[in-house]
Homo-oligomer: A and B are copies of this chain.
Amino acid sequence: MTEQPLEPPAVVRSLYAELVVTDLDRARWFWVDLLGLVVEHEGEGRLFLRGYDELTHHNLVLREGPEPAADRLAFRVASPVDLERAERFFSARGCRTRRVPAGRVPGLGDAVRVQDPLGFVVEFVHQVQTVERLHQRYDLRRGAEISRLDHFNIVVPDVPRAFAHYDSLGFRCSETIEDDDHLYAAWMYRKQTVHDIAFTSGAGPRLHHIGFFTHEAAQVLRICDVLGSLHQEHHIERGPGRHGVSNAFYVYLRDPDGHRLELYTSDYYTGDPDHPVLRWNVQDPRRRDFWGNAVIESWYREATAVRGLDGQIQPAVEAKLDESAARVGADGLGTRPAQE
C-alpha cells in the first residue's frame, strides 16, 4: 500500500488556461471580436471564453493585470477522488498544493492547484458547469471558428525531466524530436489526440502556446485573411503550414500581449492501447514544418512568463539544449518582417 499515495490523478484532458493581459478591452478585441471565441461569463476584470463545440464553461480565462503572464494551466480529471489523488501525488513530490473551493472560479467545482516540479501552476478540476453547445450554430461562427481547446505547449529547460514528470502523471507519448543523444521535444496526451501537453526546449518555466482546434484547414487560412484585411497581419507569427509532428495544419498567432496561440486541425486518433511513439530526427527539416519552411526565430526564443502559486513571476532557467542551434546552418531560421 506504500505506493498508493503516488497513484496519479486520472487526467481526462487539458481544460483551460488563465492568462494575465495588460488591457482587457484590447484582449477582448483579439480573442472575441477577431478570433471569435464565445464569451460565457465576464466580471471582476475577467473574461471566460470557450470554443463552439465545447460543453464546458470555459477554455480560457483572461484576467487584467500589470504584466503579461500565464497564471495557471488546468486539466480536467475523471472523478472527484482524483482531486485528492492530485494533492497526494504532488505533496509526495514536495510540491505546494492548494484547494480552491467550488465557485471561486466561475463555472468550476472544487479544484486543486499545485506548483508542479517543473515550476508551473497546474489546476486539477472535475466538476465543470455544462453550458450550451453551439456546434451547430453556424450562424454565430466568426473569426477562426475555434471548436475547442486542444493542448498546452510549455517551455522547459530540461525536456527529459518534463517528459518523466508527465509520464508519471499517466500521460502517453505520441511523437518526439530527438537525436542519438538528446530529447529535444515531446508530445503527450490523455485524450485520444496527439497531445494535451507538449514540451519545447528553452529557458523555462514559460508557456509556449495554447493550441485550439478547428475543424478544417479553411478556418486557419481564413483568420489569416481577416488579419490581413484589418492590417493586423503582424499578429501572425509563423505559418500557416503543415506540421511534420502531428501532421496537423497550423498557424501561430500572437495576441496583443505577445501570448502565443496555435490554430490546429487534422491530427489523428491515438486511443489504441499499443499506440507507438513516432520519433523525428532533429535533422529532419520537415519535423516542424512538413513543407520545409523555416521556423521563425521568435517562435523558438519568445514565450509567456508564468506565475507561481504566490502570484509572482517565476524566474526562467536557461536550457542547455537548443533545438534551433542543432540546426544552425541547416534550419536557417526565418524572420518575419518588422512590424510597422
On A, residues with C-beta under 8 Å from B are 12-13, 53, 55-56, 76, 78-79, 126, 128, 130, 133, 135-140, 142, 147-148, 191-192, 215-218, 221-222, 224-231, 233-234, 236, 240, 242, 244, 247, 249, 266, 268-269, 271-276, 278, 283, 285-286, 290-294, 327, 329-332, 334-338, 340
How far is A22 from B338 in the complex, measured between Cα atoms in Å? Answer: 40
Residues of B with C-beta under 8 A to A55: 272, 275-276
Residues of B with C-beta under 8 A to A53: 268-269
Cβ contact within 8 Å between A335 and B338: no
Rounded to whole Å, the gap between the CB of A115 and the closest CB of chain B is 26
Cβ contact within 8 Å between A236 and B338: no
From B126, B227, B285, contact of A233 by CB (8 A): B285
Closest B residue, CB atoms, query A242: B225
Q: Which of A191, A228, A234, A249 has the most CB of B within 10 A?
A: A228
Cβ contact within 8 Å between B228 and A217: no
Cβ contact within 8 Å between A335 and B334: yes
Cβ contact within 8 Å between A229 and B137: yes
Cβ contact within 8 Å between A226 and B138: yes
| Among all A-B residue pairs, the 9 with the closest Cβ atoms | A233-B292, A228-B290, A138-B225, A332-B337, A334-B334, A139-B229, A138-B229, A224-B291, A138-B226
Cβ contact within 8 Å between B192 and A271: yes
Closest B residue, CB atoms, query A10: B273
How far is A294 from B239 in the complex, measured between Cα atoms in Å? Answer: 11
Residues of B with C-beta under 8 A to A272: 12-13, 55-56, 76, 128
Cβ contact within 8 Å between B130 and A274: yes
Cβ contact within 8 Å between A271 and B13: yes
Residues of B with C-beta under 8 A to A247: 135-136
Given contacts A217-B218, A236-B292, 5 further A-B contacts (CB under 8 A): A12-B273, A53-B268, A136-B225, A228-B290, A293-B336
